[in-house]
Each structure stands twice: as structure tokens, then as C-alpha cells.
Amino acid sequence: MKLSNRINTINGSARGDDGWGAVYRAQAMSQAGTKITYLAIGDHDEITPPAILDAMDKAARGGATGYAPVNGKLALREALAKRAATRTGVTTRAENIFVGNGGQGALFAALMISCDVGDKVAIIDPHYTTYPATIRAVGAEPVKIAALPANGFQPDADSLMTATKGARALLINSPNNPTGAVYSAQTLEAIRAACLANDLWLISDEVYETQVHNGRHFSPRQLPDMAARTLVVGSLSKSHIMTGFRLGWCMGPEEAIAVMTDLTNTTTYGAPGFIQDAAIAALSDSGIGARTSALYRARRDVALAALASCAAIKVSPPQGAMYLFLDIRATGMSGKEFALALLEAEHISVMPGESFGAGGAGHIRIALTRPAEILTEALKRIAAFAFARAQARI
């Protein structure tokens, strides 16, 4: 039977590469018995803190196993609203919060309620892997704005203004996956100017909001006139070691949040009640987020030290999130070639930069999701591999 054009073109024209090929190869090698060091995926090497697991168990055994409110339990929406108001100073109520299935589910909901078929959605390249396909899934079309390494992967004001003319929405992500960029006050002001001039929805993916290595996170929702047009995507996946819980949210104007229930009645019926209770417990322990961000900050420092003397790899020190984005162009290889060759030679799995858009060409992304000693050892081997490849070119 014929599959829909939508699914056939979700990764670009005619069943394109979804960017995960190097990871699938690593998984196949692992199944065949090769021991792989995984530095490809942004998933924690620790399990969820016991207090959160206890709360989930207690909730499930206490009866929270039936259908939960489709838009999220009031107590959780209130807790998230209070947290946002405290962190940002923007008045936020439960009516501004929709609880979804992970940040990814919230992102899909944000795009569904803001964009029509054929609309253009601007994204900053390099971008998180799922963005183009998620935009195509709602029938819209991604438009890319380059953020160059020379500018610390911050998009510039002119490109933002020009590329968003005629678009319906701008989707941004700070702290950024894969680059680690945290948008400066100047970049956020340029984003605001483009949104106001071109009448855009701003979808602000803030799933790494607790992982700013220096200073504090600042949300563009805080800027003048922006709360009415901003949909913030949030998640407990990264901040509270809860990737498998699939618990995220979308925060925005009441009328936009209200219609997310209609959408969710056609998809998942919302997040499970016992997961939502675990989320309430997670939010009530403010120490968990702080401990997790301290862990990744320490790993970032260890990783940067391990690469300090490698002439074949250029590193822009990440300002946030849990990755290193390494420029390996001195080797003459593409990110994809490098990732596949590294996997065969060293059994280390990393993400090719091209998986994050054309702006990631000649880069690889390392997830800091292994303990410091393993990370150091793996990075030294990556550095030696890159150096040998660069030397072989001369």
C-alpha cells in the first residue's frame, strides 16, 4: 500500500538520511559483540534520583494508574508556573502551562497549534536533529539561518531579520544542542526584533535551561512584548535525569495553551498520572537540577583539558548544555566520515556534525554522558586519531 507523502519526505526529499546512521552502525557492532564507548546520545549514564522513583512508585501504588487530565494535573501545572515565575519574573499561571510527553512532544504541539500547512518556520543551523522533520510533520517547511563558528554559533541580526520575512515562526534553542552556545543579550534582542517586525511566533526550546555553565539562563519570554507570542518548550529529561519519563511542557499565552488539549485528544491523551506525580516530587527538590548541572560543568572542564593540546581539533568551549562540538576539518574528513572511521578504528561512537544541519559540516558532537575517567581516555584517543589523520594529509 502507498505510504503518505508526508512520511516519505519527513527527513527531506524521498526518505532521506535521518542523521542517525553512525549510531545505528554502532548499535549493530555492539549487538555483534564489539564493546563500544558511547558518546553519541544525550542520555545520562546515571539513573533517575531515588526520591523521584519513590514518588512514582508511591503514586502508582496509590492509584494514579488511570487516565490523567489530558493537559496535565493542576498541581503540576501550578508547580511549573510558580517555578517559571520565580526564575523569570514573568507572571505565569497554571493556564499558561500544558504538560506534554517530553520536550519533543511539547515541541510538536507548539508547532501544530502555531503553524499551518505550507508555512515557513525558521531554525538556526546547526540545530537539534529533530527540528526539520518535526516542522515537516506538521506540514510546514524549515528555513535555515546559519550560525557560524566564528561568531560563537550566535545567529546575526541581519540574517535573523531577512530569513524570517514571510515566515510564521522562529524556533530557537539556547543553551544549544549541539553547539553549547548560550544566546547573548544582543542575540536575544535581535531575535525579538525579528519576531516583532515579521509578526512571528517564537518557539523557544529551553530544555537545557538549568545547564548554563556561567551566569543564569535568560528566556526571551522575559523581553518586552514577547510573552504574548512566545511558546517555551521545557522538559525534566536533562535537568532531572528523567529522559525515559517523557515529561515536558509548553508554556505560553492562555489561548494557545488551551487548544493543546484538543490536539492531545487526538494523540496521546497526555502524560501518565504517576509520571506527573514523580515530576511534582522532582520539582520540589531544587537540589537535583543544581547537582546535575554541576556534574556536566565538571565533565566539560575535564573534557576541555583532555583536548587542550590537540592541534587537529578546534574546540569552542560550550557555555551550556551537555555536549562538546568539535571542529575536525584539519583532518580533511567530513563529520560523517570521521565518525564512521573512528567507530571502526577506536570503537567510539560520536554524532557527525552534519546530523545537525549543513552548519555542522566537518564537526563531531560528543555527549558528556560518561564518567570523567572514561571521557578523558576516549577524548585522548579521539585526539590521537584526529592528529594521525591530519598528519597523513600533509
Q: Using the rule CB under 6 A, give the single segment among 56-64, 100-108, 152-160, 330-338 that binds ligand PLP.
A: 100-108
Identified binder of ligand PLP from the candidate list 92, 219, 235, 239, rule CB under 6 A: 235
| Least distance in angstroms from the C-beta of 170 to ligand PLP | 15
Closest to ligand PLP by CB, 130 vs 222, is 130
| Least distance in angstroms from the C-beta of 26 to ligand PLP | 17
Rounded to a whole number, what is the distance in angstroms from the first to the last CA of the chain? 53
Residues in the chain: 394
Question: Using the rule CB under 6 A, is 230 a contact of ligand PLP?
Answer: no
Q: Using the rule CB under 6 A, give the single segment among 26-34, 99-107, 222-230, 383-391 that binds ligand PLP.
A: 99-107
Closest to ligand PLP by CB, 208 vs 385, is 208
Instruction: Looking at 119-182, list the stretches that DSSP marks H as alpha helix, in order from N- to C-terminal side.
Output: 131-137, 157-163
CB-based contacts of 304, cutoff 8 Å, min separation 6: 315, 317, 324
| Least distance in angstroms from the C-beta of 165 to ligand PLP | 25
* Interface of this chain with ligand PLP, residues 40 to 69, rule: CB under 6 A: 42
CB 213 within 8 A of CB 233: no
Residue type, 368: L
| Least distance in angstroms from the C-beta of 200 to ligand PLP | 19
Q: What are phi and psi of 181, to 5 degrees?
A: -65, 140
Chain-centroid distance of CA 8 in Å reads 24
Identified binder of ligand PLP from the candidate list 119, 205, 209, 354, rule CB under 6 A: 205
As given in the structure block, the three cell numbers for residue 27 are 548499535
CB 392 within 8 A of CB 315: no
Question: Using the rule CB under 6 A, is 104 a contact of ligand PLP?
Answer: yes
Closest to ligand PLP by CB, 177 vs 334, is 177
Binding mask 111-150 for ligand PLP (x = CB under 6 A): -----------------x----------------------
Q: Cell 525579528 sits at which residue?
A: 194
Q: Using the rule CB under 6 A, give the single segment among 46-54, 98-106, 249-257, 258-266 that binds ligand PLP.
A: 98-106
Residues 14, 110: Cα–Cα separation, whole Å: 26
CB 70 within 8 A of CB 270: yes
Residues 179, 322: Cα–Cα separation, whole Å: 10
Point out which residues pair with 314 in neighbouring strands. Answer: 327
Identified binder of ligand PLP from the candidate list 88, 173, 219, 355, rule CB under 6 A: 173
As given in the structure block, the three cell numbers for residue 247 are 515529561
Q: Using the rule CB under 6 A, give the single segment among 13-21, 78-86, 96-104, 381-389 that binds ligand PLP.
A: 96-104
Closest to ligand PLP by CB, 128 vs 153, is 128
- Burial (0-12, 13-18, 19+ Cβ within 10 Å), 86: exposed
Closest to ligand PLP by CB, 42 vs 335, is 42
- Residues of this chain that interact with ligand PLP (CB under 6 A) are 42, 102-104, 128, 173, 177, 205, 207, 235, 237, 243, 248
